[in-house]
């Protein structure tokens, strides 16, 4: 009887020790270490992500700098148009060309100037901003007549501001190779009108270049 009692007590002690061992395993601090480690790792990961977030900042600044660049073109066009609108061009008597050749030239100068927004001033107009003086010569060679022209642009005080020059060939009915009044008979009105168009266009380009 006593032996069985001792055996029973030994079994109870063994069970109690086993229970304490299991409880220790459950309450061991190392059992909750992994969650703590993962909790600490999460903020670190968030911090590294936050550190890389400001990186795109330089790319956002670049469009702001380039966005304003194209705005300069309309301003230049507007300034050039304003300069042409304020211009009052006086055309001095043509030197060197015959009356028959100068008549279509002068008429086309007026037409082209209006198309480009330039106002023509009369010979007695004191409000002219520019004076255009033209010098012409014509030379016939074989079946062609070459018209050579030079335009000087002056301000109202007589200071030369710009020079326009060129030449244009036209079919000739004059068989001689000479320059003078006979050569002008071979120059058609269309040739003089083409010279007038080129002259006004180059004058407008000169004014536009000054505005830019």
Predicted confidence (pLDDT) per residue in 31-63, tens digit = 434 444 444 444 444 444 444 444 444 444 444
Residue 22 has pLDDT above 90, yes or no: no
Smallest CA-to-CA distance from 192 within 66, 115, 103, 65 is with: 103
Whole-Å CA distances, 211 to 2, 79, 80, 83, 163? 125, 6, 5, 7, 17
Full-prediction pTM beyond 0.95?
Answer: no
What percentage of residues in the chain have a pLDDT greater than 70?
58
Q: Are 154 and 115 in contact (CB under 8 A)?
A: no
Residue 20 has pLDDT above 70, yes or no: no
User: Confidence class of residue 159 from pLDDT cuts 50, 70 and 90?
Assistant: very high
More confident residue, 208 or 102: 102
Average pLDDT of the residues of the chain: 74
What structural domains does the chain harbor?
88-211 (3.30.160.150)
Residue 67 has pLDDT above 70, yes or no: no
User: Confidence class of residue 209 from pLDDT cuts 50, 70 and 90?
Assistant: confident
More confident residue, 4 or 28: 4
Label residue 137 left, alpha or beta by phi (over 0 means left) and psi (-120 to 50 means alpha). beta
Query: What pLDDT is stored for residue 81 in this prediction?
Result: 86
């Amino acid at each position: 009887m006593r032996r069985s009692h001792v055996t029973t007590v030994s079994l109870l002690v063994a069970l109690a020790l086993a229970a304490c061992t299991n409880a220790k395993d459950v309450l061991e601090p190392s059992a909750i270490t992994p969650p703590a480690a993962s909790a600490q790792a999460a903020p670190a990961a968030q911090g590294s992500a936050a550190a890389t977030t400001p990186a795109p900042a330089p790319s956002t600044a670049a469009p702001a700098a380039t966005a304003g660049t194209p705005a300069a073109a309309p301003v230049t066009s507007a300034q050039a148009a304003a300069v042409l609108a304020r211009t009052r061009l006086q055309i001095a008597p043509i030197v060197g060309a015959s009356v028959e050749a100068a008549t279509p030239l002068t008429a086309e100068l007026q037409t082209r100037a209006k198309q480009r927004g330039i106002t023509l001033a009369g010979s007695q107009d004191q409000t002219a901003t520019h004076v255009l003086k033209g010098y012409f010569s014509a030379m016939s060679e074989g079946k062609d007549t070459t018209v050579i022209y030079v335009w000087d642009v002056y301000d109202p005080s007589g200071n030369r501001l710009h020079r326009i020059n060129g030449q244009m060939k036209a079919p000739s009915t004059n068989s001689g190779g000479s320059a003078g009044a006979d050569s002008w008979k071979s120059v058609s009105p269309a040739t003089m009108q083409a010279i007038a168009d080129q002259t006004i266009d180059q004058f407008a380009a000169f004014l536009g270049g000054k505005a830019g």
